[in-house]
């Protein structure tokens, strides 16, 4: 079955170009041209990925993102015409999985879409698909995480990062390595993406995010997962 993608932008010519190129790749597309329509379409169509512009009429992209994150974990790729770092960080803080700055090439956009849709395949009969670590329960097949027997809402990118670190427990990964392994492509040195996602993840799974017991920082190197004393 083809993946469904919702394209949200008020520039119809750009939407038409994106739609054409995505459909050439075999994706099914839906379009929305303002923020209110985007929220409605997302809930009706349940897309596998959303391409979301920041500057929208009726409801801006950040508000749309915040609204959708209340009930959806679908990957969201933000489009921004601004180079300002604060816009990119804000999007990540609100739960965006990725962003791309206008103008961009269709080749780059398609690469980002494929990377965000890519999932690590696990055998459904695998006996170790549920991982229990202290007060955490992680179901790597169903994308579910529980803390103290209560489900935690993670975005798809947050879950993928947690899953990767857990499955490589004790190994330290640089920010660049995490971008390659989890995001699926290079960010050309924009490693702040990893820091923001790590911070959001800590806020959700740690009892005290400032004194983490699971996701640790190896100063000058990177991050790693461990439920033991930091190395």
113 shares its domain with 134: no
Domain at 146, CATH number: 1.10.10.10
Q: Which one of 37-41, 110-114, 132-136, 140-144 scores highest in mean pLDDT?
A: 37-41
Contact criterion met (CB below 8 Å) for 93 and 196: yes
- If we measure between CA atoms, which residue out of 103, 15, 3 comes closest to residue 52? 15
Segments forming the whole domain that contains residue 198: 130-225
140 shares its domain with 221: yes
24 shares its domain with 63: yes
Residue 124 pLDDT greater than 50, yes or no: no
Domain-ending residue, one of 54, 86, 117: 117
Average pLDDT, the chain: 85
Give whole-number Cα distances, 63 to 68, 70, 92, 207, in Å. 9, 11, 13, 28
Least confident among 128-142, 144-158, 195-209: 128-142
20 shares its domain with 110: yes
pLDDT digits (tens, 9 = 90+) for 43-102: 999 999 999 999 999 999 999 999 998 888 888 999 987 666 667 777 778 888 888 888
In this structure, is residue 33 part of a structural domain? yes
Domain-ending residue, one of 62, 89, 117: 117
Other Cβ atoms closer than 10 A to 109: 18
Strand partners, 98: 77
pLDDT > 90 in the chain, percent: 49
10 shares its domain with 106: yes
In this structure, is residue 152 part of a structural domain? yes
Burial 60-77 (b: 16+ CB within 10 A, else e): ebbbbbebbbeebbbbbb
Tell me if residue 37 falls in helix, strand or coil.
helix
58 shares its domain with 83: yes
Domains contained in the chain, number: 2
In this structure, is residue 230 part of a structural domain? no
Residue 120 pLDDT greater than 70, yes or no: no
């Amino acid at each position: 079955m083809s993946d469904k993608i919702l394209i949200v932008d008020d520039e119809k010519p750009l939407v038409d170009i994106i739609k054409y190129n995505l459909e050439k790749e075999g994706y099914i597309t839906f379009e929305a041209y303002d923020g209110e329509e985007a929220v409605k379409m997302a809930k009706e169509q349940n897309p596998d990925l959303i391409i979301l512009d920041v500057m929208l009429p009726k409801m801006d992209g950040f508000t749309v993102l915040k609204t959708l994150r209340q009930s959806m974990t679908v990957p969201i790729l933000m489009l921004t015409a601004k180079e300002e770092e604060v816009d990119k960080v804000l999007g990540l803080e609100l739960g965006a999985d990725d962003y791309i700055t206008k103008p961009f090439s269709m080749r780059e956009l398609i690469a980002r879409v494929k990377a965000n849709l890519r999932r690590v395949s696990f055998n459904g009969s695998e006996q170790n698909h549920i991982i229990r670590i202290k007060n955490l329960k992680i179901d790597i097949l169903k994308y579910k995480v529980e803390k103290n027997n209560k489900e935690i809402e993670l975005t798809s990118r947050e879950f993928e990062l947690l899953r990767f670190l857990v499955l490589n427990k004790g190994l330290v990964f640089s920010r660049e390595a995490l971008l390659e392994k989890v995001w699926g492509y290079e960010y050309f040195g924009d490693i702040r993406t990893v820091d923001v996602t790590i911070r959001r993840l800590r806020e959700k799974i740690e009892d005290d995010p400032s004194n983490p017991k699971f996701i640790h920082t190896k100063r000058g190197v990177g991050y790693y997962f461990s439920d033991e004393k930091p190395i």
